[in-house]
Structure 1
Amino acid sequence: MLKVSVIISAYNHEKYIAESINSILHQSFLDFELIVVDNGSSDSTYKIIKTIKDPRIKIFRIKKNIGFGYALNYALNKSRGEYISLFSSDDIGLPDKLKKQVKYLDDHPGVGAVFSQAQMIDEEGSAIAKHYYDKMFDQKNKSRFEWLNYFFYNGNCLCFPSTLIRKSVYKQILFENERLAQLHDFEVWVKICLIKDIYIFNEKLIKFRIRQDNKNAGADTIENKVRSMFEFSHVLKHYLKIKNVGEFLKIFPNAKEKYHDINDDELIPFYVAREALRVPHVFHQKFALDVLFDLLQNKRVVAKLNKQCHFDYTDFIKLTGQHDIYHVNHIAYQEALIKTLKQQYEDLKQPLKKLKKTIYGKS
Structure 2
Amino acid sequence: MGHTAKLTVCIPCFNEERYIGEAIESVFRQDYRDFVILVVDDGSTDGTLKALKRYADPRVAIHRNRENLGLYQNLNRCLALSNTPYIKILCADDVLAPKCLEEQVAVLERFPGVSLVFGSSEVVDSVGRRLVTRRFSNRSQRIQGRRLVRTILSSARNPIGEPSGTMFRMSVVEAGRLHFRVEKFRHMADLDFWIQLLEHGDGYSIDKTLFSFRIHKSAGTTKLLKRSISEHQLLQAEYAERHPMNRFESLFVQAKSVGYFLGKLAFIRLFAR
The runs of 5 or more residues in structure 2 that have no matched partner are 256-273
Question: Which structure has the larger Rg?
Answer: 1
Q: 1:66 Cα shift?
A: 2.5
- Residue in structure 2 matched with residue 152 of structure 1 by the alignment: 153
Identify the structure with bigger relative contact order (alpha carbons < 8 Å, sequence gap 6+): 2
1:280 aligns to 2:232 (yes or no) = no
Structure number with the higher strand fraction is 2
Whichever residue aligns with residue 176 of structure 1, its letter is F
RMSD: 2.3
Give the paired residue count.
245
Whichever residue aligns with residue 275 of structure 1, its letter is N
8 Å CA contact retained: 1:191, 1:238? no
- Residue in structure 2 matched with residue 54 of structure 1 by the alignment: 57
Change (3 A) 1:62 1:281: farther
Q: 1:31 Cα shift?
A: 1.2
1:185 aligns to 2:190 (yes or no) = yes
- Residue in structure 2 matched with residue 194 of structure 1 by the alignment: 199
- Residue in structure 1 matched with residue 165 of structure 2 by the alignment: 162
Q: Deviations over 1:240-260 (max 9, x none)?
A: 563xxxxx6xxxxxxxxxxxx
TM-score (norm 1): 0.62
- Residue in structure 1 matched with residue 180 of structure 2 by the alignment: 176
Q: 1:202 Cα shift?
A: 0.4
Whichever residue aligns with residue 88 of structure 1, its letter is C
Q: Which of 82, 87, 107 is residue 79 of structure 1 equivalent to?
A: 82
Secondary structure of 2:117's counterpart equals strand
TM-score (norm 2): 0.81
Taking the aligned partners of 2:247 and 2:15, their CA distance within structure 1 comes to: 39
Identity across matched positions, percent: 29
The runs of 5 or more residues in structure 1 that have no matched partner are 243-247, 249-271, 285-363
Q: Deviations over 1:120-146 (max 9, x none)?
A: 222222322x3xxx35x3335443233
1:224 aligns to 2:195 (yes or no) = no
Q: 1:111 Cα shift?
A: 0.6
Q: 1:20 Cα shift?
A: 0.4
Taking the aligned partners of 2:114 and 2:158, their CA distance within structure 1 comes to: 19
- Residue in structure 2 matched with residue 118 of structure 1 by the alignment: 121
8 Å CA contact retained: 2:136, 2:205? no
Structure number with the higher helix fraction is 1
Q: Deviations over 1:70-119 (max 9, x none)?
A: 11111211101100001110111112111111111100011111111112
Taking the aligned partners of 1:281 and 1:45, their CA distance within structure 2 comes to: 44
Taking the aligned partners of 2:100 and 2:109, their CA distance within structure 1 comes to: 14
